[in-house]
Structures are given as C-alpha cells and as structure tokens.
Structure 1
Amino acid sequence: PQEYTLIKLKLLEVPDPSTAVQTSLGELLGGDLPVSLVAATLRPETMYGQTNLFVLPTGTYGAYKIELPQPEIFIMSHRAARGLSCQGYTQTFAEIECLLGDIKGTDLLGLPVKAPNSSYERVYTLPLLTISMGKGTGIVTSVPSDAPDDYVALQALKIKPDFAAKYGITPAMVDPFDVIPIIDIPGYGSTSAVFVCEKLKITSFNDKAKLAQAKEETYLKGFTSGVMIVGPHAGTKVSDAKPIIKEEMITDGTACLYFEPESKVMSRTHDECVVAKTDQWYLAYGETNWAQAVKDHVLNAETFNAYDESALTKYEYVIGWLQEWACTRQFGLGTQLPWDTKWVIESLSDSTIYMSYYTIAHILQGRNNLEGDVTKSPHGIDPNLLTNDVFDYIYLKNAPLPTTSISTDLLKKCRGEFRYWYPMDLRVSAKDLIPNHLTMALYNHAAIWDDEPELWPKGYYTNGHVLVDAQKMSKSAGNFLLMDETVELYSADATRFACADAGDSLDDANFSRETADSAIVSLVNEEDWAKEMLVAHPKLRTGEYSFMDRVFDNEMDRCIRATAHSYSTMQFRDGLQHGWHEMLLARNEYRSYCHSAASPLHAKLVTRFLETIVILICPVCPHWSEGLW
C-alpha cells in the first residue's frame, strides 16, 4: 500500500458564515473537539513551505469524528473517511461518525487554518480545479517552493483576481503569501519549483507535459540531492530528514499516517477496496543480511541465470523493494500456520520450496494420490508420519536420523533422491511472478539452506502472456484458443512449432495461426522428401566431397552450433530459425546447385542432413522427429 502522512491544518475560525453548512462548521468549531482539514502528502519534510491549502470547489467533503488516539474532527472526503475507519482511528472497525455530511468544496474556500511547521501564522483554503477526489483526502496542502503544480496554481490566483473573486477569494488571502525557501538543491537553488517553471516557461495548467516533467525533476532532485535549510534539521539531506520530520509531526499530534492501495482496487462485489489495519503475520524479506545473500546469488552469473537482462533487472529491483510481506489470511484453502492455527498461510508464501518435494513425492506419495491415501503410497507411508524431524533429515545435511517407524533405508533413499536432483537448475514461469513467488522462492531457499547456497535455484526463465494473431485472446474477437482444440486443429507438433516461433522475451508471445498452418505443410513436405531420399539413396553420389559438398557440410555445422546455443539460452524462436529454416535453406541451395550442375546429391550428406534436422527440430516437434527417425 501507499503510505501518506495526513497533515492536520487546524481550522481557526469561520468568519462571516454565508451558508448553513458554514454556520454548522462554526458550531463544530465552538465545541470541545479541535477541527482540522486534513491533507495527504508524500513529502512531510516540505511542510515548512506551506503557503495555503487547496480544495476542489465541486468536491464533496464531510466532518468526521476521529476517536483514537484522542478525539478530534477531520474534514476530508467520504472515501478517505472510509479508509481511516479501517486503520485504527475509531472504536469500531469500519465505522466512523459523520458529524456534518455533504460539505461542498465552496463551503470550505477562504477559511483560515493553522499549517503546522509553516512560518505563516495562518494560511487560507483556495480553489484548485485539478484535485482528484479518488486519491488522498481531496484536500491538498500547498508548497509552491518545491511543487510546480502548487506554484502555478498560486500564481494564477495572484495574477487573475477575477478568477479568485469568483470563489470569494480576496487579495488578502493570496497576495501576502510569498514562496518560502526550504530546500537547497544544487543547480536548482532554494526554490526549485520556481526555477523549473521559469526554465520550462510554464505559465498555466494547460502545460501538462511540461508540468509533469517539472514535477518529476524537482521531486527526484529534491529527495536525492536536496538539503534542508529551515527548521531544526537545517543542513540535513532531505532523504535523511524526511522520516525524522514525519515521526516528529506524528509525535506532536500535527500529523498521522494514512494508507491507500497504490492504485484503485475493486473487489468481486464491485466495492472499492481500502487498506485495513488488522492483525497479521509478516515475513521480513527486508532483513538486511537475508536480502543481501539473495541479491549476491542473483547477480552472480555463475550461480544464477535469468536468461534475460531485463528480467535480471526486475529481480534486483524487487529485492530492493520487498520488505515485510503479509503471509497469512483467515479464510480459504491453505496450510495452517503452525504456531497460530487460526491463520492460513497465503498461497504465494506457501509455494516457494514445493519443488523440493517433487524429488521425493514418487517415493512417499506415489501416483494419483492427492488425498494421501496410505494404500496408494508405494511404501505404505502415512502422511501423519511426515514430521518436521523427518523432513529435516531428508532436506538438511546435518540433521540427525529421526525417531520414526519409517525405515532408515527409505529415509536415506529420500535424502539421496533430493541430493541427486537438487538444486533446481531451471524454473519456467510467468513474468507476473517475478515480484512475488519467484523472488520469494529465492529468499526461502536461502533461509532453509542458508549453509548450502549451492542448493538455491540456479535459473528462472520467464515469459509474457500469449496473443493470438497479435491480439489479446477474446471470444468476441474469434481468436480464443484452448489447448486441446488447437492440438486437434493443427496437430501437436504444428502447435509446438507455432509456439516456438511466438517469441522468447518478456514481451507477450504471438501465436500465429498462419504459422501453425504453414508448419503443417512444411513438416509434411519434408517428411515426403525424406522418404523419397531414402528410396533414392542407392542412386546418390558417393566418394570425395566437392567444394559445394564441403560448403553444405560446413553450413550444417554452423546451424548445429547456432541451434545448440539458442536452445541452451531458451531462445526457441532463434533455435527454430537456425535448426529448421536455415537448415532447409542450406539444403535447398545445395540441391539447386547439384541440379544445375547435373550432379546427384552426395549420399553421405543427405543422410547427415536428415539425421541432423530430425535431431535439431526434436525439442520442438518430437512426434515428427521420432516418426521419421
């Protein structure tokens, strides 16, 4: 989830209320509880530069009672209130009292508030038409020194008094509030937003592309290179000061934490999901030594092969990003958490070393025995006998022989099978699993076999989704293919041929039906030619090789080496190109030369060609190869 810092801007007064809602706000303010407009920010360290507060004039807000840690009133969007009610700020989970509902943004304009850490005693709520009510609280605090959007919005109100007056904003609410320098950035000065806006000649919100560029530039430079020049942390790098200032504001009661999904998430019941604060067990993947061990393993080409540079970059990124992972849930299928059985281990956390069980499943479980039936086990093993001590002995090199009714010979056989087959040299999976299952499998192997890194996974090959004729599969588009239907339509080998030709990168593979059709023709034609050559073999030329014989022989050598390299690096499209198309091209050119020279093909080369192409294409078209062999 995305963590925000909610800044509490205390409402100071409601001067000259002109609507019923403003009158009610004044009454709330006169009560026992403090009233604050709350703004969500990712940059609490910049609060020293607040000059005003923005609300959406057409937005709808509410005044909600926060009960924990102490009672107070927050003015915010209904959506944000719903989220806060699930994060420990109310006595009853998911319930929050709305003291004043349907407050229009226009009712909040022109109100004076106290902005924490700002050098101004009071700032005012001003209109901003670009606020999204689907993000944060619908209220945005303004730091024009370091936020280009804020600077442009404030300047627009200053130079367009008619626009400001439309919303009841007077010059006194805008003109006295100058930009406050708070962060010095080398090359950008102490007011980076002003510098970048002037450099890019940004004058209004219509310059959307330039504003996006300015925002990215200032935020990145500010965090990585900026130094605080105000407050008790002046002289401290922004990256170091940010967490300290955030904690200080939370401690002194001027801010609190708020969480949202990083992007909109809808449930199966079509409800928008929120982040909830609940009891949870976590795996601490961010632990320094653990993460470093995995990173060293992944980035060492001698110990791990990602088969794709972009995939390797993704693994490195995930290892740097992955911290605490919620590993349990309280419903659904799964394994009970051994030390807290009301929890079930969630699937991604419970599926990271199961490949080690593959090495012994045939001994313990046997075929067609998912239910663990003792009578179907090859050795009559009761699943209840498979204790932690038994698995420790099988998997861990220094574990003692357990006390169990399972025979010692059988346990040693299991240990031997595991030691023979492990480590996992290659796992083929989807690119979507790089940020979770695949990386977690590395972590968990590193945790269990921490003293045997040679047993950690040696390689992952990942691919994208499958397109059909360069389009996403869809029944309405008429290109939705099921595997059994495809095999029935094109044959297994032609289907595999088209799959191999579909592509090998992280990009989505493209299954071409035209390629599958062509494969059928090509395979049949080559089989017919092979049979013709076997019949004609006694009539073919023998003896010394001619120059063109040697050229053809050498070209086959090249194709063999190129195909072997492609297969070894999981590049099956290239392997198909070298091992099939280029082999056929070399044969065709050799055959054409012999025909034009009125010279029969050389018998030994024909035999070698047939044997070679059958072997080279076998990983892709095994049935065709075995039949011809």
Structure 2
Amino acid sequence: EAVEKLRLQDKKFEVVGEHNGDYFVGKDCTDPLGRTIPILPSSFVDSANASGFVHSVPGHAPYDYVGIEDLKKDGKTLEKYPGLKEKAEALKPIALIKTPGFGEFPAIEIVERMKIKSIKDKSALDKATAELYKAEYYGGTMRDKLITLGLTPDENNRNNFGCLQYSGSSVEKAKEDVGAWLMRDGLADEFHEISRQAQCRCGGTVFAAIMPEQWFLDFNAHGWKEKSYSCLEEMLIHPEVYRKQFRDVFAWLDKRPCARRRGLGTRLPFDKNWIIESLSDSTLYMAFYTVIKKIREHGVTEEKLTPAFFDCVFLGEGEGEPSVPKQVLDDLRAEFLYWYPNDLRHTGVSHVTNHLSFMIFAHTAIFAREQWPRGISLNEMVISEGQKMSKSKGNVVLLDDVAKNYGADLFRLYMVSSAEMGGTLDFRRKDIESARRSVARFASLCEGMAEAAKSEGKDGDAVRWFLSNFESALKESTQALEELRLRDYVQISFYRVLNQFEHLQKRASVEEKNYVAKRVLSKWIRLLSPVMPHLCEELWEKSGGKGFVSVAEWPPVEEALIDEKAQAAEDYVLKAASDAREIIAMLTRKQPRKIAKITLTVASQKKREALAKLLESAPSADAITPASPDDALSLYAAKNFYVLSAAKLREIDEKAVLAQAAGFLSKELGAQVSVETEEESKSERREKAMPLKPAITIE
C-alpha cells in the first residue's frame, strides 16, 4: 500500500525489492541525526499507515514502552531473530519533554499508575496515551538536557545529542520547527494520510493523492478568516454549544482542494480542464434559489448567466449582462434583496466541519456584510428503535414511507416533541402511533368546538381555570418558539393544553364548554399551525377562519385572563382527587368493595395561619426545625417547602373550592363526596388535615 500511496502523491522512487516485515526485524537503520537504531517487531503498529515503520519513544509513549518491555519477556521472538535480545536489552528510554504533573519518564509513570501489564491492555493504553499526549502537547516544553534512564549525570551530559536548539520551546511549537528543519535539510518528506479509514462507493479503499496542478482555496488568505469569524460571532447558532465547534473548524482550515478532473459540476473559470468540487460549489445555492423562479419566468437562457449577470443581480455592481433587459435585471435584483440574507439554515451537526463553515466563508468572500447569513440551527442524528439505522437491522426510516404511513404533520409533531435539537432522536413506531392518537383527539376536539362556538356560553370556575392555563401556555410556548426551544413549544402548546382540555370536558357544563370554544379555538389552531400546517389549515376553514391560518395574525396573550388563584384552586381539586384515588386503590386492592362515602376534611384556620407565618419566616426547608417528632405541621412544611411557598395559601378558600367541586369529585371517584372543616369534623382523622392537603376518610 505504501508504494501505491507514494505514487498517488507524485513521489519519485524505484522499487528495488519486496520483503515481508520479518526481513527487517533485528536489522539497523539510521535516523536523521545519524544514530544507528534497531528495528523491532510490534503487534500494535498499523502496517497500512504510511510506510508501516514507526519511530519508538518509550520515555513518552505508553504503547512503545509497554511494547518494548513485552518484547524483552518474549523468549520465543527473541530467539527467532539473531541479535534481537541484545538490542532490546540495550534500549533505554530517553526523556525529551518536561511536563507539569509528570516526572522525567512520564510513559513509565502513567503505565505504572494505571497498572498496565501488557500490550493486550488496549483500552487502558488508549486512555493513557490520550491523557499523556494531551498533557505534553498543550503543557510540555523541550528539556535543556536529554536524560537517558539508568545513566549517571556525567554520562547524560556526554550523551546529549541533536535537537537541543529547541530547548525551552513548547511541544506544539517544537513539533512544527523540527518538521521544518528536517524538510529543509532533506532529511524528511511529506507523506499524506486521510484522517480515518474510508471506502468509496465502488468498494475501493480511499487514499490521499496529490493532483498535479491542483487548485486550492486558501482559507488563510489575508483578512478572510477575520471576516468569517466576525460573521460567526454575529450569527445565531442553535444550540449555542456548537459555536465552539465552528471556531475550532475555522482555526483548523488552511488550504483545501477545490476542484477535480472528472464528474458533474461547473467548470473552473480559471482552468476549464477542472470542475469545481461539490462542497466548494454548493455553499451559495441558497442565493441562487432566490432568483431561479424569475430566471425561468423571464426566459433567461444559460448562456446569458454570465459573471456580469450575477455581479449585477447578487452584488448590485455593474450594468449586468448586455443581452438581458434592464427591467429584467432590476426585477431579479429586487427578488434577491427581498429574500436575502439567509435568516436561518437548518441541517445536521455533521455538516459543521465542511458545508456550513464553507458557506460562511463563501458569503464573507463574495457578499457585503448585510447579505451575510444570520443564523444556523442544527440537530443531531436520528436513530431507530434504539439503534443506529442500518439496512441489515431492518430499521431504516425512509421518507417515502413516512409520507405514506404518517403524513407530514404527524411526523413533524412527533419529531419536534421527541427530542431537543442538541439531542439524539430515537424514532420508535409505537411512540409515533401514540402521537397519531393525540393528533386525532386534537382534530376531533377542534371540530367539536367549532360547533360548540355557535351556541350560547357562560363563565364559571372551570372556565377561569382553563382560560388562565391556556393563556399561560400561549405565553410560554410563544417564548419557547422564539428561542427555538421547539420541543418545549410542542409539549406546552399541544400536549399540556390537550390534557387540560380533557379535564375541562369532565369538569365543565355544556354552557361553559361553549364559552371556552369561542375564546380559545381560533387561538389554539393558530398556535399549532407552525408544527401542523396542513391539518391546521383544514381546521381553520372548518372553524370559520378567514384566508389562510399560515398568514393569520399570531394569537396575542391576554394577560388579564391569567389568574394564578383560579389555577391554584383547580389544581387543588385535582390533587385531592388523585390522593383519594390512591387511598381507594390501596383499600380495595386485596378485598374489592363498594365505596359509599368520601369525606374531605380541610385544615383549620389556625393551621393555615401558622403555616403561612412559618413559610414567610423560613428562607429554605433547612431553616424549618420541628419542635418535636410530633410537630406534624413543621415536618409537612419542610417536606413540601418549595411547593407550599409557591402556592396561594392565604388566597384559597379550601372548603369553598372543594364544596363547589363536590359534584365533579363524586362522579370521578364513584362515591358521595362531602366537605367539612377540621373545626367541624368529628372524624378521628381530622388532625391529619394539612393546608392544601385535606384529610380523606373513606367509608
């Protein structure tokens, strides 16, 4: 492979013979400093990488140190190659680098610390290598004197050789300087390898090649990176965590091939024998999208799409292509300015290292600042049924199947609600079927409300609770949408509101439901139109909406309807019902029986006042100290401190709220529900009543 790679990289050489690796073991070679060094066998060297020979640094490379120590113990291999045992025994690690946190021979130190016993401990060696290389590269400096293990100070002084001109340099700088010195003196040559193994679609292995007369984009051209960094810092990057990845890519970009000899594409204007490479050619297509419709509309043919044409349309420079009428050019220019700049580009995270970074560079090179891209949003990859998609696993999700089996709206709702942009989406068919049922409930509910809105309605406690929750959801989900927290937007605007609607169906009278329908239906459809545009257009028309919902005014939040007291009161009813269900389930689990009566006993006014004062005086739950183990009120306050602190404790008339809901609770719980105060009660359980947690007696 090395011969083939060298040929592809235009190296001039002659093959004088072919030998297996065994042929070289035990022989000597000369390093660039003129020293004679032995060639050793190794099980961890990748023979497919570069020449297949690797320089060993046992003082600083855990793999090299452990490999040599293993070799010294491998009698069979030492006997196979004459003289190898003596050469292996003579090898001594040499310290070149001084690194904070490590001694003279960091490879030996980290191997002993991690208790690595042999070259078979690959996982531990990988960790040790990563830790040590990072520490040395970013924090290490070249030593003033080389230190060989086992030599006295005088012997080390006599044994110092080469490279000491780099003493004191950082490892990062010394690596570049040593490489430049070896190249300059003809002691080394470049050998290019790709960063990871890859295969082309035909099944062949991909190698790095040097093309004669290759064209490059120089990303370090004067001022270009500065402009691109400026563009990046002004852009929205969502999720924000990926901004650093863009910065790292910008810093790494240098010269990149931008043309190839074969395939489809645009001819390089500087040399028609070359075709512009696809990633270099595709980073401005969003600009072309803005005008292609007008180009076809005006019948502008291919030969008229000259540089002068695009200078005029995209840059507003020059008179344009003479064969295209001025009014056509003006129309195209206006169309471009209407759409540009690109406000938001959305794609996968894998494109940060190429397409998206190139897009920013291309725009800053060609366009004025006001036409630079404004934002990029990104999502992680999609897996299926808990696993990476693979044909062999049969879990690939095809877009054609999505359209046929689910439709756009259901798929959009499911995808957005299942994961944040920065998280991995696990596509599961049972989950999307569950979402399908929720969408069907939403559609049915909206159609029912469209009819209900035609009838007379009336206000009530349940109405005030629902409208307050709906306006709060509208406010929260609108903010989430503006901040691109799309999962929060759907969870709040769709699922939370849908669940509250279902409670309203059981809690409210027909007239109250009619009242809600008139106030909410139009807003809810508009609120969900970004995620389910097609369904919402149909529901908009059925509900009497004018025009298209997609261009309707965004629903305003009616702050006056947000009634925290009403929300707290109904939430209190729901919690009481939930607690009663749990007790009933516990009592009837082993011996099923009919529950005839349920008594809810609300806490005394004395307890309410005491709890309110306790919460006002305590900055945290830890500050509440029960007077004794029997101080139930203080124990209750400490356990539920944050919930109680947020509650409208003084504003809720617990008995009145539960009494008003007694009919609903009786129907829900399947038994007659009565309400009393602790002061009125004769029940033995009355002392169990706590503020916002009534005692529950089951008969």
User: Which residue pairs with 1:65 in the alignment?
Assistant: none
2:179 to 246, 254, 263: 246
Quick check: 2:452–2:517 contact (8 Å CA) kept in 1?
A: no
1:624 to 518, 523, 535: 535
1:384 to 290, 300, 303: 303
User: Which residue pairs with 1:48 in the alignment?
Assistant: none
Residue 3 of structure 2 is aligned to residue 84 of structure 1: no
Quick check: 2:304–2:321 contact (8 Å CA) kept in 1?
A: no
1:233 to 166, 184, 192: 166
2:16 to 91, 99, 115: 99
User: Which residue pairs with 2:653 in the alignment?
Assistant: none
1:217 to 131, 155, 159: 131
Distance 1:338 1:488 in 2: 44
Distance 2:29 2:497 in 1: 78
Residue 525 of structure 2 is aligned to residue 525 of structure 1: no
Residues 588, 386 of structure 1: CA spacing in aligned structure 2 closer, same or farther, 3 A cutoff?
same
Question: Which has the larger share of helix?
Answer: 2
Residues 557, 169 of structure 1: CA spacing in aligned structure 2 closer, same or farther, 3 A cutoff?
farther
Secondary structure of residue in 1 paired with 2:95: coil
Q: CA deviation at 1:480?
A: 4.5
What amino acid is the match of 1:254? L
Deviations 1:326-377 (A, max 9, x none): 1101111111111100001011111111211222222222xxxxxxxxxxxx
Residues 403, 314 of structure 1: CA spacing in aligned structure 2 closer, same or farther, 3 A cutoff?
closer
User: Which residue pairs with 2:205 in the alignment?
Assistant: 272
Secondary structure of residue in 1 paired with 2:15: strand
2:225 to 258, 281, 291: 291
Secondary structure of residue in 1 paired with 2:279: coil
Distance 2:125 2:83 in 1: 25
Quick check: 1:307–1:569 contact (8 Å CA) kept in 2?
A: no
Residues 469, 608 of structure 1: CA spacing in aligned structure 2 closer, same or farther, 3 A cutoff?
farther
What amino acid is the match of 2:277? E
Residue 44 of structure 2 is aligned to residue 126 of structure 1: no
Residue 510 of structure 2 is aligned to residue 510 of structure 1: no
Distance 1:406 1:155 in 2: 77
Distance 1:530 1:179 in 2: 78
1:109 to 14, 25, 32: 25
Distance 1:483 1:127 in 2: 52
Residues 534, 276 of structure 1: CA spacing in aligned structure 2 closer, same or farther, 3 A cutoff?
closer
Distance 2:116 2:393 in 1: 45
Mapping of residues 101-500 of structure 1, within 5 Å: 101=18, 103-117=19-33, 121-158=35-72, 164-229=78-143, 230-279=163-212, 280-287=214-221, 289-298=223-232, 300=233, 303-365=234-296, 378-397=297-316, 399-402=317-320, 404-449=322-367, 452-473=368-389, 477-500=393-416
Distance 1:472 1:202 in 2: 33
Structure with the greater alpha carbon radius of gyration = 2
What amino acid is the match of 2:180? E
Q: CA deviation at 1:624?
A: 2.1
Distance 1:153 1:168 in 2: 19
What amino acid is the match of 2:199? M
What amino acid is the match of 1:87? Q
What amino acid is the match of 1:347? S
Distance 2:365 2:182 in 1: 38
Q: Which protein, 1 or 2, shows the higher relative CO under an 8 Å CA cutoff with sep ≥ 6?
A: 1
Distance 1:607 1:479 in 2: 45
Q: CA deviation at 1:160?
A: 5.9
Residue 523 of structure 2 is aligned to residue 612 of structure 1: yes
What amino acid is the match of 2:225? A
Quick check: 1:227–1:237 contact (8 Å CA) kept in 2?
A: yes
Secondary structure of residue in 1 paired with 2:164: coil
Secondary structure of residue in 2 paired with 1:415: helix
Q: CA deviation at 1:409?
A: 2.6
Residue 497 of structure 2 is aligned to residue 583 of structure 1: yes
Q: CA deviation at 1:430?
A: 2.5
Q: CA deviation at 1:477?
A: 4.8
User: Which residue pairs with 1:36 in the alignment?
Assistant: none
Distance 1:404 1:473 in 2: 53
Q: CA deviation at 1:180?
A: 2.1
Secondary structure of residue in 2 paired with 1:446: helix
Distance 1:134 1:269 in 2: 20
Quick check: 1:306–1:459 contact (8 Å CA) kept in 2?
A: yes
Distance 1:344 1:444 in 2: 17
Q: CA deviation at 1:505?
A: 2.0
What amino acid is the match of 1:580? F
What amino acid is the match of 1:349? S
Question: Which has the larger share of strand?
Answer: 1
Quick check: 2:283–2:355 contact (8 Å CA) kept in 1?
A: yes
Distance 1:160 1:567 in 2: 65
Distance 1:607 1:82 in 2: 76
Residues 541, 209 of structure 1: CA spacing in aligned structure 2 closer, same or farther, 3 A cutoff?
same
TM-score with structure 2 length normalisation? 0.69
Distance 1:480 1:160 in 2: 49
Q: CA deviation at 1:267?
A: 3.0
User: Which residue pairs with 1:24 in the alignment?
Assistant: none
What amino acid is the match of 1:496? R
Deviations 1:102-140 (A, max 9, x none): x2333322213222327xx42222222322222232222
Quick check: 2:420–2:487 contact (8 Å CA) kept in 1?
A: yes
Distance 1:383 1:211 in 2: 59
Structure 2 unaligned runs (5+)?
144-162, 541-699
Distance 2:100 2:200 in 1: 46
Residues 390, 588 of structure 1: CA spacing in aligned structure 2 closer, same or farther, 3 A cutoff?
same
What amino acid is the match of 2:537? E
Q: CA deviation at 1:602?
A: 5.0
Residues 473, 200 of structure 1: CA spacing in aligned structure 2 closer, same or farther, 3 A cutoff?
closer
Residues 454, 104 of structure 1: CA spacing in aligned structure 2 closer, same or farther, 3 A cutoff?
same
Structure 1 unaligned runs (5+)?
1-78, 91-95, 366-377
What amino acid is the match of 1:310? V
Distance 2:4 2:70 in 1: 33
Quick check: 2:449–2:521 contact (8 Å CA) kept in 1?
A: no
What amino acid is the match of 1:456? W
Distance 2:208 2:410 in 1: 48
Deviations 1:162-184 (A, max 9, x none): 65334434553133332222222
Residues 583, 234 of structure 1: CA spacing in aligned structure 2 closer, same or farther, 3 A cutoff?
same
Distance 1:150 1:480 in 2: 43
What amino acid is the match of 2:137? F
User: Which residue pairs with 2:683 in the alignment?
Assistant: none
Deviations 1:403-446 (A, max 9, x none): 61433233222222222221110112232222111111110100
RMSD of equivalent CA atoms:
2.7
Secondary structure of residue in 2 paired with 1:257: coil
What amino acid is the match of 2:210? K
Q: CA deviation at 1:541?
A: 3.4
Q: CA deviation at 1:616?
A: 1.9
User: Which residue pairs with 2:153 in the alignment?
Assistant: none
Distance 1:87 1:270 in 2: 21
Percent identity reads 29
User: Which residue pairs with 1:8 in the alignment?
Assistant: none
